[in-house]
Amino acid sequence: MSRRAGYTLLELIMVIGLLGLAAALLVPHVVGLSRMETQAAVRRLISDISYAQSDALANQEYRRIQFLDDGRGYALLSVDEATFGDPFDPETATYLEDPSGTYQSWGRYVVDYVDDTRYSGVSLGDIETAGSGNWITFDPLGGTVVSVGNPAGSSRIVVEGTDQSFEVLVTPMTGKLTVQKIDG
């Protein structure tokens, strides 16, 4: 009885495992880790803006994305008609609870690009929010407002990374989000 030439199942599993390990180690270097970090930061910003809008609509309350002054990140806040115009104070602000509970925010919904190593080299550049200061606020109907009962204009946020930059546009009234690559 002759034996057929071929590979055993164990040999095939070992080769596939080695190829998978090599791909996992090489792909970040080929694509560029800084590009992946920047793109992850943009995706996170988009999802957080969408979350704030959805939460405002679901709870019939005002929700705000407050951009930190030094471009290091942003926070998601709950505001009401009485506190709508108050300046941002990190000590007294009413933060939304971070549903994912990630990265040292102690339950507060704060995204800090400097402290969070997942976003190394990422910062917020130009922030234009149509006269509303350094924030975007959604009303109980999910629309953007500049003050209680007054719709906001469009907003523009630039996310800058080491190798590339993106611009996030927020459409007035509806809060529709658009992302454009502007550099890199």
> Domain-by-domain residue ranges, the chain?
33-183
| Range 91-95 contact pairs with CB under 8 angstroms and sequence separation of 24 or more | 93/66
CATH 3.40.50.1820 fits 33-183, yes or no: no
The pLDDT assigned to 36 comes to 86
**Cβ within 8 Å of residue 17, ≥6 positions away:** none
Model pLDDT for residues 82-116, shown as the tens digit of each residue? 989 899 998 899 999 887 766 555 678 899 998 88
Model pLDDT for residues 126-172, shown as the tens digit of each residue? 999 876 679 999 999 999 999 898 888 899 999 999 889 999 999 98
The pLDDT assigned to 30 comes to 62
The pLDDT assigned to 103 comes to 57
Length reported for the chain: 184
Burial of 101 (0-12, 13-18, 19+ CB in 10 A): exposed
- Assess contact for 108 and 97: CB atoms under 8 A: yes
Model pLDDT for residues 6-41, shown as the tens digit of each residue? 788 899 999 999 999 988 887 766 666 778 899 999
- Assess contact for 144 and 56: CB atoms under 8 A: no
What does the pLDDT average to over 50-66? 95
What does the pLDDT average to over 41-51? 95
- Assess contact for 165 and 180: CB atoms under 8 A: no
For residues 21 and 87, what is the distance between their CA atoms, to the nearest angstrom?
50
The pLDDT assigned to 49 comes to 95
The pLDDT assigned to 5 comes to 77
- Assess contact for 52 and 65: CB atoms under 8 A: yes
**Cβ within 8 Å of residue 144, ≥6 positions away:** 136, 137, 138, 151, 152, 155, 170, 172, 173, 175
For residues 152 and 170, what is the distance between their CA atoms, to the nearest angstrom?
10
Q: Which residue has the higher pLDDT, 1 or 128?
A: 128
